[in-house]
Structure 1
Amino acid sequence: MKRLLLIFLFVAGFGLLPGAAPVLAESDTLIYSWPGNVGPLNPHLYSPNQMFAQAMVYEPLVRYSLDGNIQPCLAESWDISPDGRVYTIRLRQGVVFSDGVPFDAKAVKMNIDAVMANAKRHAWLELVHQIRETVIVDAHTVKIILKDPYYPFLQDMALVRPFRFLSPSAFPDSGNTADGIKQAVGTGPWVLVESKLGEYDRFERNENYWGKRPPMKTILVKVIPDPNSRAVAFETGAIDLIYGDGQISLDTYDRFRSDPRYRTAISQPLCTRSLAINSGRGPTRELAVRQAIQHAVDKDAIVKGVFLDTEIKADTLYSANIPYCDLKLPPYAFDPAKAESILATAGWKRTEKTGFRTRDGQVLSVDLCFVGNDAVMKAVAEVLQSDLQRVGVKINLLGEEQDSFYKRQKSGEFGLIFNNTWGPPYEPHSYLSSWRVPSHADYEAQSGLPMKPEIDATIGRVLVSTDEGVRADTYRKILTTIHEQAVYLSLSYTTGLIVHGKGMQGASFGPTKNEIPFETMFKE
């Protein structure tokens, strides 16, 4: 009886009863879920705009492909000047925004100028500092002139944000998209047509799309904050697809994987699952404490017990297949005795009453922050708490909503905080570029390092280096220093998960972790 009541309540919340999400024809509608609404989908701004949804509506000049190459998208071709400072870009002709407005050089300049007008907000991305001017050559050609020969220009133009393109008709009257947009209008395969706060977002196929039109007419994204609720919604048929990292617990995924009714898949490694350790606040200001934390964590047990061998242990911030990152740095081996010795040498002594270490009357206590409704983060946090308690470190678990979590990353109000790397095409250049400003947890994690100014200056130099050998040596210097300073606790190289019923076809992983290829999916 309790099971039936539970399913009834879930179904009521997932749009199968009056007053919730609209009832749509099953054959031409794909139903997905996300922990919150997708936001207003301003292509030039960040939270609460959700990246997977921005990528559905807006397109870049060039696209990052599954094979790691840059391919044409809204740009048909491009030339680079011999000095690497001028990119002449020829635009694809015949493209219109979903509202029928032509996509042309004027629209490109209007959008890039809007991003540049809000440059302070995008300070994490070096490209914003490098663009000197965008010049219209003719109706379908633009020149983007840089200050320096910034080598990752095309990779940054392929990112989900901020260099994507909004219809001129959807700009605010001020012309500054930092003030908001009139509506989400892009050139992409999907159009956001309806949002209901706390319930769903509905996307329709863009009938003006220049490329191959998606087979599905509608993508309905239901708001389901809780992973267990999402699993029940999938089992009861209220959603069609589970996709990504942290959408369900890995125990649940393992159960679905062994159920013949469902099809499942695991992606190749997408990025590094790591935590930032704050060198500027609390006990973790001390290198010895950060090093002890590294040696106290049993990564093999986490990979096996939490990730169920769906991920690979990470000993360094980046995997060896990332450009410039095959450095063979010595790992911090799991060695609780060594962790205890490091802490004891640093003066942190265990107290018999609590088992935690103290020094000068201060308890060795660290706040570990995570997104409370992320099943994987929560499970990992609990294991870390147990591992660190064994060596006398008190870990306070702080599970919060996503917006509060990201605010804490920027403010530095954490000891340990989940802070995954970003995956291609951000790595390593864009991610390192972001270290220099307080846009993510990295800046605060590194803020207490005595060599922080030199790290930032070195990042600035490597991003405009034209010598491949110098560039490789400079990346080695940066990443070796960060590794030795123990400001990142890297756990595993993350993967994405797919679960769907046998009636759905075409589900595959996108080229980056922030893009979901709904346009290839269909129902039999």
Structure 2
Amino acid sequence: MKQPSMKKKLGLWLLGCCLSSSIAPSYAADDAPTLTYSWPTNAGPLDPRGYSPNQMYAQAMVYEPLVRYTRSGQLEPWLATHWTVSADGKTYTFTLIAKVLYGLEPRADALFSNNLPYTDLGLKALGFDRQQARERLQTAGWTLPPGKTIREKDGQPLSVELVFLGTSALQKSLAEIIQGELAKVGMQVQLRAEEDGALVQRQREGRFGMIFADTWGAPYDPHSFVSSMRYAGHADYMAQRGLPMKDAIDRKIAQILGETREKQRAEGYRDILTTLHEQAVYLPISYLTAISVSRPTVDNVQFGSTLFDVPFDVMRPASRKP
């Protein structure tokens, strides 16, 4: 979470050490058997957030539920191993199976994945404690007036704008979850959907309370990414500019980028990344993993040394079809 403290802004970042890559060579349609199934209406856009015109039978082939309805009329665990219900019956808490994301998108505890240079620092995930959040807000003067759900201070509501990419169903879903969670501690989150160009412009100008973004992946993390934090026009600079130690952070970045001594460089990165972590400038969500999808008709499909280096030259047609 990017959180310029003096400006009382938060910058929410969806982190990814690398993006997804897909390789799917075509093959003859008659190579695989086809099942034709008759249904009276179109399957629809397969958006799990809605009903009509979506058709449930088609959605069930794409998405898996937390629990599953059985022939006996009972609910059994599926993606959730178990769940609890609050005393008032209003809150359900689900515990997911360990491999719900199949190991492809592990939860992020810090800005960078620890498999990058100078990033394996043992930083612990920020704690999640609603009651402590309420107490800290109360101590800071953000009180909850009788009959209201949003905290106020000096007559001003505790409100922040969360900007997300309007065409991203994932970001929209995450934004709605964050909105609901912060509402529980008395904070209003106003969601703002933007097209790609407008979102980038908001990042450059600092016109956000919270905003989604990615890190750049290898070979740019952490060096190039950290370097960009010093320049106005980058979302990181805009989010950090309210920190009382911002000038010291920028000087330290310039120092480590010119440092040739390994120990001193490592210590510099530890100082910078630990400070940003402790100041809660970033809210890490997940680390994305590069994925390659290929047909059995292609041999020697592999990754290059970076996301943008795809070794097409070593790929070959398979010697025979399966």
State the TM-score bracket (shorter-chain normalisation): 0.5 to 0.7
Matches within 5 A, 1:380-459: 380-459=174-253
- 1:422-460 deviations in whole A, cap 9, x for unaligned? 111111111100001124210100011111111111101
Measured after TM superposition, the shift of residue 310 of structure 1 is 3.6
Contact 1:367–1:414 under 8 Å retained in 2: yes
Aligned residue for 2:107? 313
- In the alignment, structure 1 segments of 5+ residues that lack a partner are 1-65, 67-214, 217-227, 232-250, 258-299
Measured after TM superposition, the shift of residue 352 of structure 1 is 4.2
Compared CA separation, residues 302 and 370, structure 1 to 2 (3 A): farther
User: Percent of pairs identical after alignment?
Assistant: 42
Compared CA separation, residues 230 and 471, structure 1 to 2 (3 A): farther
Measured after TM superposition, the shift of residue 500 of structure 1 is 6.2
Does residue 347 (structure 1) correspond to residue 141 (structure 2)? The answer is yes
Compared CA separation, residues 380 and 482, structure 1 to 2 (3 A): same
- 1:353-376 deviations in whole A, cap 9, x for unaligned? 441111111111111111111222
Contact 1:303–1:311 under 8 Å retained in 2: no
- 1:318-373 deviations in whole A, cap 9, x for unaligned? 22222111212243111111111111111111234441111111111111111111
Q: Distance in 2 between matches of 1:302 and 1:367?
A: 30
Q: 1:480 aligns with which of 259, 265, 274?
A: 274
Q: Following superposition, which runs of at least 4 residues in structure 1 exceed 3 angstroms of deviation?
A: 228-231, 251-254, 300-310, 351-354, 496-524
Compared CA separation, residues 306 and 372, structure 1 to 2 (3 A): farther
* Corresponding residue pairs, total: 239
Measured after TM superposition, the shift of residue 392 of structure 1 is 1.2
Contact 2:46–2:59 under 8 Å retained in 1: no
Higher RCO, Cα 8 Å, sep 6+: 2
Compared CA separation, residues 352 and 515, structure 1 to 2 (3 A): farther
- 1:93-141 deviations in whole A, cap 9, x for unaligned? xxxxxxxxxxxxxxxxxxxxxxxxxxxxxxxxxxxxxxxxxxxxxxxxx
Compared CA separation, residues 256 and 344, structure 1 to 2 (3 A): closer
Compared CA separation, residues 368 and 473, structure 1 to 2 (3 A): same
Contact 1:406–1:440 under 8 Å retained in 2: no
Compared CA separation, residues 499 and 378, structure 1 to 2 (3 A): farther
Compared CA separation, residues 333 and 399, structure 1 to 2 (3 A): same
Aligned-partner residue type, residue 495 of structure 1: T
Does residue 255 (structure 1) correspond to residue 87 (structure 2)? The answer is no
Measured after TM superposition, the shift of residue 516 of structure 1 is 5.4
Measured after TM superposition, the shift of residue 229 of structure 1 is 6.3
Does residue 491 (structure 1) correspond to residue 285 (structure 2)? The answer is yes
Matches within 5 A, 1:145-294: 255=62
Contact 2:164–2:175 under 8 Å retained in 1: yes
Q: Distance in 2 between matches of 1:449 and 1:439?
A: 17
Aligned-partner residue type, residue 279 of structure 2: Q
Measured after TM superposition, the shift of residue 306 of structure 1 is 9.3
Aligned-partner residue type, residue 215 of structure 2: T
- In the alignment, structure 2 segments of 5+ residues that lack a partner are 1-17, 19-24, 27-43, 48-57, 65-93
Q: Distance in 2 between matches of 1:309 and 1:370?
A: 25
Contact 1:302–1:380 under 8 Å retained in 2: no
Secondary structure in structure 1 of the residue aligned to 2:62: helix
Compared CA separation, residues 333 and 321, structure 1 to 2 (3 A): same
Aligned residue for 1:378? 172
Q: Using structure 1 for the length normalisation, give the TM-score.
A: 0.41
Contact 1:312–1:492 under 8 Å retained in 2: yes
- 1:239-277 deviations in whole A, cap 9, x for unaligned? xxxxxxxxxxxx9898289xxxxxxxxxxxxxxxxxxxx
Measured after TM superposition, the shift of residue 461 of structure 1 is 0.7
Aligned residue for 2:161? 367
Compared CA separation, residues 427 and 451, structure 1 to 2 (3 A): same
Compared CA separation, residues 305 and 351, structure 1 to 2 (3 A): farther
Compared CA separation, residues 406 and 433, structure 1 to 2 (3 A): same
Secondary structure in structure 1 of the residue aligned to 2:190: strand
Compared CA separation, residues 457 and 429, structure 1 to 2 (3 A): same
Matches within 5 A, 1:37-76: none
Compared CA separation, residues 478 and 502, structure 1 to 2 (3 A): same
- 1:354-408 deviations in whole A, cap 9, x for unaligned? 4111111111111111111122212211111111111111111111111111011
Q: Distance in 1 between matches of 2:230 and 2:202?
A: 17
Aligned residue for 1:468? 262
Compared CA separation, residues 317 and 327, structure 1 to 2 (3 A): same
More helix by share: 1
RMSD: 3.6
Contact 1:306–1:379 under 8 Å retained in 2: no
